[in-house]
Amino acid sequence: MTRELDGKVALVTGATSGIGRATAVLFAKAGAKVVASGRREPEGQQTLELIRAAGGDGLFVQTDVSQASDVESLVQKTVDTFGRLDVAFNNAGIEGVWVPIARQSEADWDRTIAINLKGVWLCLKYEIRQMLKQGSAGAIVNMASVTGLVGGGGAAAYSASKHGVIGLTKSAALETARNRIRINAVCPAVIETPMEQRLFGAPAAHQSALAMHPLGRFGTPAEIAQAVLWMCSDRASFMTGQSLVLDGGFLAGPNAPS
């Protein structure tokens, strides 16, 4: 494959499984040195093994993105190890507990927003600081969702967090455009990941979710990873402040949630 990220240093949060892991490995195949992060050490080391098996050089840093000290340390360890930071995929997130607002606990709301929204804000804060310090071009992609563009009954906290990510992305892109730092978001529908299994593993839930995807299937982590790689490469050099929807037709038809 074309080595779009040859010589660059890339950071991926939430790299212990699913889309994050697939993207970390693809970044390595594209020539980047990859720092993978996440909360689960064993799974993180497995991702690191996959990065190395793909011919890449990498590092795993255990990180809770809701904690400023963890994120600051993550970026610093990236720079201490590889000298710089060129590309970041702020992918870490949770689904939270999907229940109607009237039954949702304040603790679950706080945890979902802390990881999905505050976590992206913290990552942007320290990534942008480092990229500005370097004075060179950079590219950042934030993980949003189709639920950042529409509502979802029972998913208020998750949907609110992803709407917030899209707003953050636009604001950050405007702040950094003159510095040649491009910041975009990716908005998948349902993807075949452990999160999908937790939310839609039951047969009835699976069929209901599948019916909202006109292509007749869920997406794969590899498909999202390919899009993120493109957004981080020079092939997307005129793209910033945008939200790229990858949804199998989810938002196009009458079955989209309202």
Catalytic residues: 158
Q: Which of 150, 105, 165, 166 is nearest to 258 (CA)?
A: 150
The Cα–Cα gap between 10 and 51 comes to: 12
Query: Which tokens is 229 given?
Result: 């790689």
Treating both helix axes as pointing N-terminal to C-terminal, what angle do 68-82 and 119-134 enclose, rounded to 10 degrees?
Answer: 30
Instruction: Please give the backbone phi and psi of residue 192, each rounded to the nearest 5 degrees, phi first.
Output: -75, 90
Q: Which of 196, 77, 180, 192 is nearest to 138 (CA)?
A: 180
Residues 6 or more apart whose Cβ sits within 8 Å of residue 75: 11, 85, 126, 127, 129, 130
